[in-house]
Amino acid sequence: MTEHRDLVDALIHRHSTPATCLTEPAPDDDTLQRILQAAESAPDHGGLHPWRFLVIDGPALDRLGEVFVEAMRRKDPEASDELLDRERLRAQRAPMIIAAIAREEAGHAKIPEVEQLLSAGIAAHHVLLAARASGFGAVWLTGLRVYDEHVMAALGLAEDERLIGLINIGTVKEGAPTKGKRRRQATIDRWAG
């Protein structure tokens, strides 16, 4: 039972690490394999497996930065070099980004789309938790870029897929926050009928 107590403790103390506080090294392939395996136990009504992940690291991060820049240029041809540079850097802060992708089957006889999206979100959160439990820092980021058609096309998303997060992962830098902020005290609200 200790195992379960440890998990609750880890959940209570879970926090993100800002992408600017992440550095090399990223998880190696064995660790990455385990982190991604953690997603496979996400609750999944009907076993539709409505998620997948793309690992982006090394030179692919530079290419992702260019995709972000191009997306911004298409939206705003007048965007300043400063803004474009900042956008490029968003792909280059952490040494690894795991793109979390949800696939929602429309009109399924039994499983509403919202349930499929929830499963994908939980799978992504398992990745976040597993990265942290493996000794790395991580943060789930989106920003408008994940909803951008150019970004989704460049990542090869299908029509029925959407990007739900860019999970930045890396080794936590010295001085990074060691606690989460804004934790509320949970309350027990009972419905008595």
List interacting residues with ligand FMN (CB under 6 A): 15-16, 139-143, 165, 180
Nearer to ligand FMN, 131 or 141 (CB): 141
CB 103 within 8 A of CB 116: yes
Q: Where are the beta strands (DSSP E) in the chain?
A: 22-23, 51-57, 96-103, 137-141, 161-172
Nearer to ligand FMN, 58 or 180 (CB): 180
Nearer to ligand FMN, 32 or 127 (CB): 127
64: its two tokens: 């992702």
Nearer to ligand FMN, 33 or 142 (CB): 142
Angle, CA of 54, 60 and 66, to the nearest 5°: 110
**CA separation for the pair 61, 64 (Å, rounded):** 5
CB of 24 vs ligand FMN, minimal distance in Å: 21
CB of 59 vs ligand FMN, minimal distance in Å: 24
CB of 49 vs ligand FMN, minimal distance in Å: 20
